[in-house]
Amino acid sequence: MSTHHLGRSVFGDPKNTGNLMSLEEAHQLLADWVPNERLRLHMKQVAAVMKAWAIEKENADEIKALKWELAGLLHDADWEKYPDDHCRIIIEELERRDMDPELIHCIASHGPSYFGVEPENSMDKMIYAFDELSGFIHAAALIRPARYEGMDVKSVLKKLKTPSFAAQVNRNDITDALSGIDVSLEELIQFIIVHQKEIL
Ligand SMILES: [Fe+2]
């Protein structure tokens, strides 16, 4: 993916804090915008781990958990139809819909080297950490007959060190994202294996 620096660092309007769409609306947006089933699955998987992390590690209430889930669900919504304007289009759509500024900032910062927006709060940092790793672990599951069942962290670590495996997954992004959080790579992998295995 080439870089699509957004050229801005403030997103949404503070007066819209707390405005979130429903999960039904988010799924409708995906149905309208994302014909590619694999890309929809990727977003659902990132949404599942984001929601689970918010609840388990961030003590999130229902609204906060929904915000984390929506960020995962929508972060690549414009990738398929607008590859050259990826991120800008979904951001503008969410601004048009008066969505919560934190939700929009989270999506804007999910790939700092591409979009030029640094992750700030823990939601930003976790979507960045989960994004590539989630796709990588799904690729690892797809080549195992038992899929996620019995998958261990060591085998994922080994594949990460094999550049030819899921070569499109940017290992530098994973390392960079981890440098911004107080979570080990092993813990993150284990969390993803557990929480995205049912999202197929
Ligand atoms: Fe993604």
The CATH number of the domain covering residues in 14-196: 1.10.3210
Buried b (16+ CB within 10 A) or exposed e, 143-167: eeeeebeebebeebeebbeeeeebe
DSSP summary character for residue 90 = H
Tokens found for residue 75: 């972060």
Q: What is the pLDDT of residue 78?
A: 97
Whole-number Å distance between alpha carbons of 123 and 119: 8
CA of 191 to the centre of ligand 1 (A): 17
CA of 134 to the centre of ligand 1 (A): 8
Q: Which of 116, 81, 141, 110 is nearest to 4 (CA)?
A: 116
How many Cβ atoms from other residues are within 10 Å of residue 90's Cβ? 23
Query: Could you tell me the pTM of the whole model?
Result: 0.96
Tokens found for residue 72: 């995962």
CA of 169 to the centre of ligand 1 (A): 10
Angle at 121 between CA 62 and CA 189, to 5 degrees: 80
For 90-149, the pLDDT digits (tens) are 999 999 999 999 999 999 999 999 999 999 999 999 999 999 999 999 999 999 999 999
CA of 5 to the centre of ligand 1 (A): 16
